[in-house]
Structures are given as C-alpha cells and as structure tokens.
Amino acid sequence: MLLRAATAEYVHFHDADDLFEPTWCAQVGAGLEEIEVVFTEIRSFANGKLLSDRVLGLAQLQAEGDLLRFCIRGSMLVPAGTYRRGLLLELGGYRETLWQCEDYDFHIRLAARGVHYRLIDTPLVIIRVRLEGRSSRQLEVWASALQALKLQAKELPTAYGKELAEMAAYVGSQLFKLGARHTASEAFQLAHSLGPPTYARQRRSYRLLASALGPEAAEWISLSYRRLLPEPLRRALVQRGL
C-alpha cells in the first residue's frame, strides 16, 4: 500500500496526467504543520477546453462550515487534499471493497472523524478529464456510490440521515436512467428508510411526482416525457421553470 510505504508527514494523491498551479506548494505548505488536512479548489479541462473553474464549490463549504454534510453531497475529490499521513493510517485509507467510489467514502469517514482542516478557495490543481477514464463507467460509479451509502447509513450519526437520504435518492435516479432498475429500486428504498427525501436535486415537477407517487413512478413518467418531447422543447420548458 502506497500510504504505508510513504515516509513524509503529509501526503497528496495526484494522477500523473493532472497538474499543479505554480503556487500550489507555497500556499498549501503555509501553516500546514498546525492542521491535519488542506483542501484547495480544482479546475477541470477536457480536450483542452475548460469544463469548470471551480469543481468543488468550496465557497459553499466555507459558508456552511460542515465538512461532513459537504462530503455526503459528493463534492470532494482526492487531488484537492493534502493530508497528515498519520491521520490516513488511523482511518485505514480506502475501503478496498469499494471499486469506484472509494474516494467518496473515504472523505465521508475523514469528515466524520472531526478533522482540523483549512480551505483554499483558489484552483491550485488542474485535472484533465479523459473520456476513457474510470469515472466514465457510469453504471459502476453509481452502483459503487450506493454501496458506500449503505455502509455510511450504518456508521454515521442519525443527524445526517437527511443528507444520506437525498444522496441515495439522487443515486437511484442516476441508476434508473442507466437502465439498472433493480439497483435503482434498492437506492430508493434506502432513501425512504433514511428520509423520506425531498428530492432536492430534481426539478419541481419531479419532486411533486416523487412525493405523491414515489420516485420510481416519477422516473417512468420522466422517461416518457423525454421520449415524447424533443430536447429543444424540454430545454425551453426548463428555462421557464417547468
């Protein structure tokens, strides 16, 4: 395991094809010995084109101040962090039973421990998104996310049930769209057991349908809607808030 082989007091995980901004070392290193984790913003590119100037939305975390809720929502990425090695050894690193969303689960466990962290709301890491990358295997990604949520539902304080329920409902929606109906049903059942969810990430029409008829009915109706109406018309309706 790379973590055990490392000898430095702090570690940072970085893909070989991603980049650092020139000031990364100086900004992250300032006052590092006083805390356990530093998170910086991330800028993303695909085929040389900017996808997002601030992938994580750390400004929201700065405003809310709850790292655990932020991580449950699925926003933290590994290249954003520089971590005290002893902390990661204490946590046991990644859960090797999780094939795709091990980093998502890792940051939830990290946040649940109550770590001392610092935020730098400046994109100091550049990630280059590749279409052939592991994250492109969407069915694997969302099925693994469900597996992680099942584990977290057993481990986190009940005060975070609402966030877990909302995420489980969102995961279920993604799985349904990918054709994994049975796994989507598992995610919706988990959301209901933790919630009920409000389906906050969905449009108003979906929220109303899901609350009245259940999320699977809302998904089937949404599927029919997408098949019947051309995309430009759907876009126009979304712009009108429908």
For 191, the domain range is 137-239
For residues 49 and 144, state if they share a domain: no
- Residue found under tokens 């990661």: 88
Question: What CATH number is given to the structural domain containing 108?
Answer: 3.90.550.10
Encode pLDDT of 187-202 as tens digits. 999 999 998 999 999 9
Task: Answer with the one of 128, 159, 178 that is the final residue of a domain.
Answer: 128
Contacts of 141 (CB under 8 A, 6+ apart): 100, 101, 135
Task: Answer with the one of 106, 128, 150 that is the final residue of a domain.
Answer: 128
For residues 6 and 123, state if they share a domain: yes
For residues 124 and 172, state if they share a domain: no
Helix axes 181-194, 138-155, angle to 10 degrees: 30
Helices (H) and strands (E) counted in the chain, each on its own, are: 12, 6
For residues 74 and 161, state if they share a domain: no
For residues 118 and 10, state if they share a domain: yes
CA distance 61 to 75: 10
Helix axes 161-177, 215-228, angle to 10 degrees: 40
For residues 187 and 212, state if they share a domain: yes
Encode pLDDT of 49-103 as tens digits. 999 999 999 999 999 999 999 999 987 999 999 999 999 999 988 888 888 889 9
As for how many domains the chain has, the answer is 2
For residues 89 and 204, state if they share a domain: no
For residues 172 and 225, state if they share a domain: yes
**DSSP codes, 201-226:** TS-HHHHHHHHHH-HHHHHHHHHHHH
Per-residue pLDDT of the chain (242 residues), as tens digits, is 677 777 789 999 888 888 999 999 999 999 888 899 999 999 999 888 999 999 999 999 999 999 999 999 987 999 999 999 999 999 988 888 888 889 999 999 999 999 999 999 999 999 988 766 666 688 999 999 999 999 999 999 999 999 999 999 999 999 999 999 999 999 999 999 998 999 999 988 899 999 999 999 999 998 887 777 666 666 666 666 55
For residues 22 and 123, state if they share a domain: yes
For residues 111 and 152, state if they share a domain: no
Task: Answer with the one of 101, 128, 155 that is the final residue of a domain.
Answer: 128
